[in-house]
Amino acid sequence: MGKTKGNLAVGQSGGPTVVINSSLCGVIQEAISHDEVGEIYGMFRGIDGFLKEQFVDLRRQSPEVVEGLRHTPSAALGTARKRVEAKDQELILKILKARNIRYIAYIGGNDSADTSWKLHQLATQAGYELHVIAVPKTVDNDLCVTDHCPGYPSAARFVAMAVRDTGRDTEAMGPASPVKLVEVMGRNAGWLTAAAALARQEEGDAPHLVYVPERPVSIEQLVADVERCYKEREHVVVAISEGAQESAGKDLGEEYASKEIDAFGHRMKGGVSDFVATLLAGRLGLKVRIDKPNYLQRSLMACVSEVDLDEAYRVGREAVRQAVAGRLEGMVTLVREPGQPYHCAVGIASLEGIANQEKKLPANFMNAAGNWPTQAFLDYARPFVGALEPKYVRLAKYFV
């Protein structure tokens, strides 16, 4: 029995990253190389565009444009945050059959893995042969099974570079404006916030404190930590996750948090730095400034990790290879190979163990006090984030 022939649909979902289009490029270029793949449909704004039958003809794009996707940030097809519901199933099947779509590559994070799993289940129950492969993408780095997620290395690089540079700014201001809070993305997982520690090139460099959701911090400890650091060097830079917690299940500064809920039932985070700034100013009498990079964390191509660009491209290509080879469902994974130099191979895992799951920062990636990443985390992240160049210097304090 020969391989299935049919059309392929590809979509992008969730928050865009600087490398999500590199994955799209990989999907398109690999699909073109297989005779089994007919038309290549780009879902305009993810599954929402699929339901509206808004498809971009990707075969008609010039080779130069397709290749250019590898170095173009954001989601070229547009993105969406829509949950597939029972009422959508009949229409989905109708569109699949009418357009003879036999292959789907869906690029996204946790919620996109859920969508991919539901599409697989729907097709299976209807007896319709459909090959659904999820392509991992998320700056949160919280997809299970895979070593890390495309998009995370570049966002982590941005955070490290931003904290390194704003640290020098804060150091220069000294007692006049001594405390800087950098609020980093991360609803429930602290992977991205922990990456701030990569900014430090020598002892005393920013950041001085790092707080992640997995390690709750009491108000008393937070104030004491900042006071101690200020007394040591007359300035303090704190990297704090937007999902930082005061205790298990209680967000730090809940009264400042957004009440907005997304389509998947997730409460939007944000506001923790406002709470902490007010707290520190009141308790310590210090001037506090806040940096909220927000979407810059995931969208600045100037801070891209070259490793990230390459891995994102490879997982896109692998998704098509797996689908054409007969795999009915799964998510492409990155598998770190032992030894040096650093390299990740591509693998595949079932969506059943990935959809609706979150990979948290391991306990051994934070110190006992819960305010600084360990060497184990630095060794994990540094190879794919890359070195921060050039190395900065300081004037020797030769006062006369």
Question: Hey, what amino acid is at 159?
Answer: V
Minimal CA–CA distance to 155: which of 299, 51, 12, 325?
299
314: Cβ–Cβ under 8 A, 6 or more apart, which residues?
26, 346
On the CB side of 197, how many CA atoms lie within 13 Å of its CA? 25
CB atoms within 10 A of CB 16: 22
* Rounded CA separation 128/283 (Å): 63
Rounded to whole angstroms, the Cα distance separating 194 from 141 reads: 11
- Measuring CA to CA, how many Å separate 30 from each of 141, 150, 236? 25, 18, 49
Read off the amino acid at residue 82.
K
Active site residue 48: no
DSSP label at residue 366: B
Q: What is the DSSP string of 156-195?
A: HHHHHHHHHHHHHHHHHHGGGS-EEEEEE--SS--HHHHG
Closest CA to 185 of 334, 301, 15: 15
For 97, other C-beta atoms within 10 Å of its C-beta total: 11
Residue 156, C-beta contacts closer than 8 angstroms, at least 6 positions apart? 139, 141, 191, 192, 195, 198, 305, 381, 385
Catalytic residue among 140, 225, 291, 308: 140
Q: Determine how β-strand 179-184 pairs with β-strand 288-291.
A: parallel
Say which residue the tokens 């306990």 belong to. 363
Q: Residues, the chain, total?
A: 400
| C-alpha–C-alpha distance, residues 373 and 241, integer Å | 13
- Residues with a catalytic annotation lie at 140
